[in-house]
Amino acid sequence: MTGIDVLRLLLLGSFGNIAGRLRELSDDDWDRRAVPGTSKAGFILWHAARILDWTYSSIAGVPEVAQRDPWRRRFPQEAMFGAGIPVSVADGVTQAVSRTDTIAYLDDVKTAFLEWFDLPRVVRPADTRYAGGARVAQDARGRKGGLPGAGGVGGDLRPGRDSRLAHAHAAVRRSHPRAPGRVR
């Protein structure tokens, strides 16, 4: 089993868990809090689906499924992906988005993510607005002279120029006590 296989398995579990909770939740409970002072059940499940979409977008280097039709018209724009928003905005999500819409949206995100896994080649995002991880690594290398924990060894993150980055990753693996492939 490869790392990609493990990631696919974990994601399938996440999609399955969220879909199961969405199916089990009644429409009445969609707009209720399970415990006072917490978010509404519907918002929590919608947010979980949005986070999977954000993860897909960040990894694949493409816009989120929520930015496509029909979702961009159905989701409150001020709710973004549900993190760091006011309670009033979070509470409004359950009024604007139904449980059945969230089930359909989660299915669209799952389909997009699994199609990305099945691509026959490595895809490098052309639009770096969606390449969050690479942008963070480039920023860290540019400001610090190296990747965090890599002893100042920087890597060229441009396509085809990643041998120094591989050396930086190897340095991290050697220095971390529990890293896979650590030299003892």
Each residue's pLDDT tens digit, 28-78 = 999 999 999 999 999 999 999 999 999 999 989 999 999 999 999 998 888
Q: Is residue 48 part of a domain?
A: yes
Residues 6+ apart with CB under 8 A from 5: none
Q: Which residue has the tokens 């060229």?
A: 156
Nearest to 64, CA basis, from 44, 49, 85, 42: 49
Tokens of 93: 């999500």
The reply to whether 112 and 22 lie within a common domain is yes
Q: Is residue 183 part of a domain?
A: no
What total of structural domains would you count in the chain? 2
The reply to whether 22 and 86 lie within a common domain is yes
| Local confidence band at 122 (pLDDT 50, 70, 90 cut-offs) | low
Which residues form the domain of 38?
3-117
Distance CA 22, CA 5 (A): 26
Q: Which of 65-69, 109-113, 136-140, 177-181 has the lowest mean pLDDT?
A: 136-140
